[in-house]
């Protein structure tokens, strides 16, 4: 077996990625596909933490346009992440993985509270740990939540699953001549306004020297290939 590139990861998935070809909600087939991809690396012995957005159900940034206060909208978004987290947890367990769902907001009937030491212990025991409800605070994105949880659990890297093959100098879905970066620095991501993750998330990773790998999660076997050392996606770091 090939040596693993990372032993403990934080996988960040967007809520929108769960829609598949739908315009809203959760596509069951896409959810099964993601769970199957996670199982491949879990079976290799990778310790997997996951943060999922809620944009397929509700985005807090849309709140003010719809007549809600931003804080209310962000709380609604946090609840949307819990719906997605519960759905992924169920499908992962159907595939035979042991999981734990930890919430930044107290909702003990459906999830454990986030406690750092408990989360690390779950990972050490081989459980897939899903972190729901963002940071538990308004004005912070799930990208920031992913960076925060990754630092807290001492992950080796954040793997951000997208629908394109990494970070490009322009939108590859609009520009067929867009150039993909194999690696790029945190500073260049910010200076070039590449919108990989928000400013707070990038800054947190930079301060803690936490690598970010942006890759195409929609391609079968990409996650496994990345973790077994193949050249997949774009690496962001202190270069």
How confident is the model at residue 1, as a pLDDT?
A: 56
Question: How would you label 171-198 residue by residue, b for 16+ Cβ within 10 Å and e otherwise?
Answer: ebeeeeeeeebeebebeebeeeebebbe
pLDDT for 61: 66
Beta strands in the chain (DSSP E): 8-13, 47-52, 99-103, 112-113, 128-132, 157-162, 167-168, 180-181, 183-185, 212-216, 234-237
CATH number of 8-237: 3.40.1160.10
The domain segmentation of the chain, as residue ranges, is 8-237
pLDDT, block means (10 residues), the chain with 239 residues: 89 95 93 98 98 90 79 94 98 98 97 98 98 96 97 98 94 91 95 91 96 97 97 93
Q: Do residues 181 and 234 lie in contact, with contact meaning Cβ atoms separated by under 8 Å?
A: yes
What pLDDT is attached to residue 65?
Answer: 76
CA distance 193 to 152: 27
Alpha-carbon gap, residue 11 to 1, rounded angstroms? 22
| Contact between 192 and 141 (Cβ < 8 Å) | no
């Amino acid at each position: 077996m090939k040596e693993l590139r990372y032993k403990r990861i934080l996988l960040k998935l967007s809520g929108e990625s769960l829609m598949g070809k739908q315009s809203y909600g959760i596509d069951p087939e896409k959810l099964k596909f993601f769970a199957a991809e996670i199982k491949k690396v879990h079976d290799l012995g990778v310790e997997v933490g996951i943060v999922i957005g809620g944009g397929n159900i509700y985005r807090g940034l849309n709140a003010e346009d719809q007549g809600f206060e931003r804080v209310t909208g962000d709380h609604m978004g946090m609840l949307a992440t819990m719906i997605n987290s519960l759905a992924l947890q169920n499908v992962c367990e159907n595939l035979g993985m042991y999981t734990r769902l930890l919430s930044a907001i107290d909702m003990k009937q459906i999830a454990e509270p986030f406690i750092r030491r408990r989360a690390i212990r779950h990972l050490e025991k081989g459980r897939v740990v899903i972190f729901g409800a963002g940071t538990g605070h308004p004005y912070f994105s799930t990208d920031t939540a992913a960076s925060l949880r990754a630092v807290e659990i001492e992950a080796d890297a954040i793997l951000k699953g997208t629908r394109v093959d990494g970070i490009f100098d322009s939108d590859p879905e609009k520009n067929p001549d867009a150039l993909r970066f194999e690696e790029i620095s945190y500073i260049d991501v910010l200076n070039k306004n590449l919108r990989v993750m928000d400013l707070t998330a990038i800054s947190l990773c930079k301060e803690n020297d936490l690598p970010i790998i942006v890759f195409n999660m929609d391609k079968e076997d990409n996650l496994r290939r990345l973790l077994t050392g193949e050249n997949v996606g774009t690496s962001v770091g202190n270069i």
